[in-house]
Structure 1
Amino acid sequence: MTTRAVIRGVGHYLPDRVFENAEFAETLDTSDEWIRSRSGIERRHFAAEGQGTADLAARAARAALTDAGLAPDDIDAVIVATSTADLTFPSAATMVQAELGMTGGFAFDVQAVCAGFVFALANANGMILSGQANRVLVIGAETFSRILDWTDRGTCVLFGDGAGALILERGDGTGTVQDRGILASDLNSDGRFRDILYVDGGVSTQTTGHLRMQGKEVFRHAVEKLAQTAHRALEKAGLGPNDVDWIVPHQANLRIIKATAQKMGLGMDRVVVTVQDHGNTSAASIPLALSVGKARGQIQPGQIVVVEAIGGGLAWGSVVFRW
């Protein structure tokens, strides 16, 4: 028998405040049509004053636990992927652990910006395969509204806040592509491209800073690297694009999503898209989309799913699994 990390449950949480595109026109030289045509985004959610990333993460975690029919004490580890943790330390994950009432297990954060959830998922898979944990709660959560420059129409219109969570559980497989669970992953980074997507603040500057992005450069790298990493992960799993039922990409920009699907030779009818309603929620976007895709009835048991993301670093990667 082969050990597999199988998906047991998913869930998500979005703050109550919905911010429509038209509201940006009150303070910026922009419009609903301008934003939609360049990004596909129509609206996004913003966290309330005093509402932190750990709070969003804990709410998504509870939704995933409910979906899985599990209690917090059934979880061995909590991994939170985020670039917008509430405090320098402790980690958002330990704050979620406390909020859930967990007194055992372990918790830590992963920081790979928009690729964070993919990196966290691959790490959780490794922990299960190595026997470190039987059940891992993997969360992507962000409050990007706290690091946006509200005078920069090229960035502030693109991002939103939210959280998504997924529970991985140890299961037995046959070692073939027919197994449920994670079948392969592919992780990459290249620090030479740091300056095309970064935040100009941090501990060493004693400032929070704002998100800065060279949009055209990010677009170019995203399309090329997302298609490459998806192909590599599928090859590792012994699968090809024609075997894929759903791509669940990082929800950054509809044009990137469409171009990547085309580069992989797949139609948009096999892509889960939520960017229009959430904007770019960074590490939260993939688990949010997985949860929404399941709720819509798109993702069904036994289907092959590819998740792929790229973020600041640059860091990028993908994971292939059977739902």
Structure 2
Amino acid sequence: MSKPSSQPFCASSIIGTGSYMPEKVMTNEDISKFVDTSDEWITTRTGIKERRIAAADEATSDLASEAARRAMAAAGVTAEEIQLIIVATVTPDMFFPSTACFVQKKIGASNAVCFDVSAACSGFLYALQVARHFINTGNRTTALVIGAEKLSSLVNWKDRNTCVLFGDGAGAVVIRRAEEGTDASGRVLSTVMGSDGNLADLLKVPGGASFCPITPENVATRPNTIHMEGRETFKHAVTRMLEASQQALEIAGLTAADVALVIPHQANARIIGAIAERLGLPPERVFMNLDKYGNTSAATIPVALDEANKAGRLNKGDVVLLVAFGGGFTWASSVVRW
């Protein structure tokens, strides 16, 4: 993996966070009633105890819109002030229009430019960096960045190796241009992104699009559900997340010792533990909520960021490290000065 070049300073700050989780809770015991597994098996291997499942009439844009409203309320901005909406998702309402356009309609953000980003579990950090570039060029001053997923729509509920992992939810942030020389909190200092398409087969939904349309002949094999090679995914996730974290800190002129809190992608407790250990950080400086929600893909980091914020885990001046990996293979990390 090549070392990224130094980035120009992008004066943008997170000024509000919000999240929304569906009401329905599905516990490990619930899953054990229809697939050969147990609470002990799932908890030991993943750290997950339960996850949220969206209602049949709840679309990804519904989850995203509610998270967006809460982030906007926290930021004290109106829908008319939002000039850009980016939704990171692999479970869009439709192939097109974009989920972001549906969010625009639902929240009344008539002045926004809207589009989606697809980078699986790294999607929110990809979208955050895209929004930073818009702000850095001066074309937009206020943006809404959302990670939202209805992964229950992609889960094969007969596959015990994958159905236990995923849940539904959405998180959002409002970011705004911060003038140079100001003491704006929530400032995004750096972002590192990477991809390796050679690893695409490790984590994918192979069917349902142009490569493998759903037909009467293949529908029984459920090609439009999540397929994962767990061992290889684990290995590459740890390596790439560690590299991205170290690079983002270096670009920001910081080290792991400066980090007050790591908010990692919530995929697996063992992966999170391995990252923390290799960065030399104790458990109390790592935020985890996957026991409650499981893996919500692009939503995990913004949901965790909002929960950490609301719980008082983030103090002014704290260095916060955000890091993720996902199918593609993709990975990303951001450093924020809270």
Match in the other structure for 1:165: 172
Aligned twin of 1:203: 209
Match of 2:23 in 1: 16
Give the corresponding residue for 1:92.
99
Q: Spell out, residue by residue over 1:278-298, the C-alpha distance to the aligned partner (whole angstroms, 9 max, x if none).
A: 100000000000001111111
What does 1:20-31 align with in structure 2 at a 5 Å threshold? Answer: 20-31=27-38
Which residue identity is paired with 1:195? D
Matched, 1:214 2:210: no
Correspondence for 2:136 among 121, 129, 132: 129
Return the offset for 1:173: 3.0
The DSSP-based 3-state class of the residue aligned with 1:224 is helix
Q: Taking structure 2 as the reference length, what is the TM-score of the superposition?
A: 0.92
| CA deviation vs aligned residue, 1:167-206 (integer Å, no higher than 9, x gap) | 1011123499x97511111010000001110002132133
Residue 187 of structure 2 corresponds to 181
1:310 matched residue in structure 2: 325
What RMSD over aligned residues (CA atoms) do the two structures have, in Å?
1.5
In the alignment, what sits opposite 1:226?
241
Amino acid at match of 1:188: G
Q: Is the 8 A contact 1:115 1:315 kept in 2?
A: yes
Take 1:200 and 1:285, find their aligned partners in 2: how far apart are those partners?
23
1:203-241 Cα deviation digits (max 9, x unpaired) = 213337010000110100111110110000000111100
Task: Please list every run of at least 4 consecutive aligned residues from structure 1 whose deviation after the TM superposition is greater than 4 angstroms.
Answer: none
SS of alignment partner, residue 322 of structure 2: strand
Superposed displacement of residue 149, structure 1: 0.7
Aligned to 2:3: none
1:3–1:172 contact (8 Å) kept in structure 2: no
Deviation at 1:28, TM superposition (A): 1.1
Residues 119 and 126 of structure 2 are in contact (CA less than 8 Å); yes or no, is this contact kept in structure 1? yes
Which deviates more, 86-95 or 3-12? 3-12
Residue 45 of structure 2 is matched in structure 1 by: 38
Residue type of the alignment partner of 1:198: K
Unaligned residue ranges in structure 1 (runs of 5+): none
State the one-letter code of the partner of 2:260.
D
Rounded Cα–Cα distance in structure 1 between residues aligned with 2:185 and 2:306: 21
Amino acid at match of 1:130: T
Say whether residues 1:254 and 2:261 are aligned partners: no
Is 1:116 the counterpart of 2:131 in the alignment?
no
Q: Give the aligned residue type for 1:261.
A: A
Number of residue pairs aligned between Structure 1 and Structure 2: 321
Give CA deviations for 1:49-99 in whole Å, capped at 9, x if unaligned. 111000000000001011111111111100000000010100000100010
**What is the one-letter code of the residue matched to 2:112?**
G
Partner of 1:292: 307
Structure 2 gaps of 5+ residues are 1-8, 215-222
Question: Which 10-residue stretch deviates more, 100-109 or 134-143?
Answer: 100-109
Percent of residue pairs identical: 43
Match of 1:192 among 198, 206, 211: 198
- TM-score with structure 1 setting the length: 0.97
Q: Is the 8 A contact 1:248 1:290 kept in 2?
A: yes
Change (3 A) 1:288 1:174: same
Tell me which moved more, 198-207 or 79-88. 198-207
Counterpart AA for 2:192:
D
Relative distance call for 1:287 and 1:83 in structure 2 (3 A) is same
Cα drift, residue 126 of structure 1? 1.1
Contact kept, 8 Å, 2:17 with 2:70, in 1: the verdict is yes
Question: 1 CA distance for matches of 2:118 and 2:159?
Answer: 24
Q: In the aligned structure 2, how far is the partner of 1:15 from the partner of 1:179?
A: 30
